[in-house]
Amino acid sequence: MSIAAVNVRNQFRGFVQEIIEGPVVSEVDVLTPEGLVVTSVITTRSVKELGLAPGRPVVALVKSTEVSIAVL
């Protein structure tokens, strides 16, 4: 499947910065060229199947029906 086939409008190109691997789920930090870090929690199985590793170029796809904001 190509990226063009995905129906997600918020796409951030970047590189895997860090992976914190757990037994079932892992955190994957993606660093964009603008310096934004996008963190995804995906299954550890998916990390392995996708061959994710620090430095690997990826696209973070963000799709959400809600964004919450809190006042500090």
pLDDT along the chain (72 residues), means of 10: 64 95 96 94 95 96 76 82
Structural domain includes residue 38 = yes
CA distance 63 to 9: 8
Residue 23, domain extent: 3-62
Q: Is residue 19 included in any domain, yes or no?
A: yes
Instruction: Specify if 50 maps to a domain.
Output: yes
Closest CA to 9 of 63, 51, 47: 63
* Res 1: pLDDT: 47
Predicted pLDDT at 11: 85
What was the pLDDT predicted at 4? Answer: 61
List the structure tokens of 46: 């998916």
Determine, yes or no, domain membership for 8: yes
- What CATH number does the domain containing 33 carry? 2.40.50.100
pLDDT at 7: 65
31 domain-assigned:
yes
How many separate domains does the chain show?
1
44 inside domain:
yes
Whole-structure pTM over 0.85, yes or no?
A: no
Measuring CA to CA, how many Å separate 36 from each of 14, 20, 23?
9, 18, 27
Cβ atoms of 11 and 31 within 8 Å: the answer is no
- Predicted confidence at residue 10, as pLDDT, reads 81
